[in-house]
Amino acid sequence: MQHQPLPSPTSAPMAFSARRIVLADREIAGTVHVAGGMIVAIEEDVFAKDAIDCGPDLLVPGLVELHTDHLEPHFTPRPKVNWNSFAAVLSYDAQIAAAGITTVLDSLRVGRDFDNAKGAGWALIELSQAIERARAAELLRADHHTHLRCEIPCEGMVDDAKHYLAQFKARLMSLMDHTPGQRQFRDEEKLRNYYRGKTVKSEQELDSYFEERKRLASIHTEPNKAGIVALAKDYGIAMASHDDTTEEHVAESLALGVTIAEFPTTLEAARASHAAGLAVLMGAPNVLLGGSHSGNVSARALAEEGLLDILSSDYVPSSLVAGALALADVPAVGGVAGAIRLVTKTPATVAGFHDRGEIAVGKRADLLRLTIADGYPVVREVYREGRRVA
């Protein structure tokens, strides 16, 4: 049976009226007019009769996600279980769209999984090919791009990255180091607890495993870092640091040409990143859980100091808009408009998407209709370029 692609953006005019339209700097009531997948007019305090009536719901821009680890779990839902890659991509895409995300950077790992002899390079290519097939078939609801999560201590990861970039495009590359005793896992006990819940390794096996990871890091970290930075420059790909912990980490990131500071683990690192002009990105789950599950700095604490620029859903897509609105009460964030900027305009701008991220004339009609139920934002309708996708 031949597939039926999702409807293309329509050139027929359509409109949305709402009492709470969230612009980049304020809320208004009125009507947003769309044609050809673009916003063509905004009438304040005017409610067009033929418009889709959003009533008291919020009308906000489609969300822009720069770092989600959620695709790989769809592909490997259980240890040693690999799902059909095409089905995994479509399932993931549907979940992303249902969360209100219309532009997503799929975070794909480069660098071998220490517990997987088959290696991460295989999954990277398999998933990327599936994304391309789904895109060619016009089945994707969200606009997908790639964020390569480069695990610097891993053997062979620069070759994996070269192999990937010879076939596919990437919009962002992050420099990651999850070596025991480093950055996010300065406290090795927290990493031990993670593996205790994930594996059946004995304490002696964990000792050996950690020592081997440290040994590999001592060999590969510096040459791999130089190799990835060179690739990013050659291909014109933006770079992000990951889990910077000290001012020294931030200084090194700056020297490497990083523009985004992902998940700084301390207030010290966040302050240094912000002062240097890096866009500070934190996880929405951190906001909703009241702090970091790894015991690192709270995203709310950074927001209160005016140090937070971008939120990411990280490992829970539905957390993105909820985490943003949970910060609307923080004075430094700037109310609902400022909270929504954390997940729309700012990440779009930082990633070089200048045609989206806000409700404004001339921007893409990526729109999200939200209602608040029991104090929690519920996604009711999602439009990408004027086409309803969820």
How many angstroms separate the CA atoms of 48 and 17, rounded? 7
Q: How far is CA 193 from the centre of its chain?
A: 26
Confidence (pTM): 0.90
* Domain boundaries along the sequence of the chain: 1-61+356-390, 63-355
Asked if 366 and 100 count as a contact pair (C-beta separation under 8 A), the reply is no
**Count of alpha carbons within 13 angstroms of residue 152, beta-carbon side:** 25
Q: For residue 136, give every residue at least 6 positions away whose Cβ sits within 8 Å of its Cβ, in sequence order, or none.
A: none
Burial of 224 (0-12, 13-18, 19+ CB in 10 A): buried
Same fold, 1-61+356-390 and 63-355: no
pLDDT tens per residue, the chain (390 residues)? 455 566 565 557 999 999 999 999 999 999 999 999 999 999 999 999 999 999 999 999 999 999 998 898 899 888 788 899 999 999 999 999 999 999 999 999 998 655 544 445 678 999 999 999 999 999 999 999 999 999 988 888 899 999 999 999 999 999 988 766 565 666 656 666 665 555 656 777 777 777 777 777 777 888 999 999 999 999 999 999 999 999 999 999 999 999 999 999 999 999 999 999 999 999 999 999 998 877 789 999 999 999 999 999 999 999 999 999 999 999 999 999 999 999 999 999 999 999 999 999 999 999 999 999 999 999 999 999 999 999
Place of tokens 């822009």: 64
Return the bridge partners of 183, or none.
none
Q: What is the dihedral of CA 267, 273, 277, 281, to 10 degrees?
A: -80
Structure tokens at 197: 């819940």
The answer to whether domain 1-61+356-390 has CATH 2.30.40.10 is yes
Helix (H, G, I), strand (E, B) or coil at 339: helix
Q: Which CATH superfamily groups domain 63-355?
A: Metal-dependent hydrolases (3.20.20.140)
List Cβ<8 Å contacts ≥24 apart for 371-375: 371/56, 371/57, 371/58, 372/58
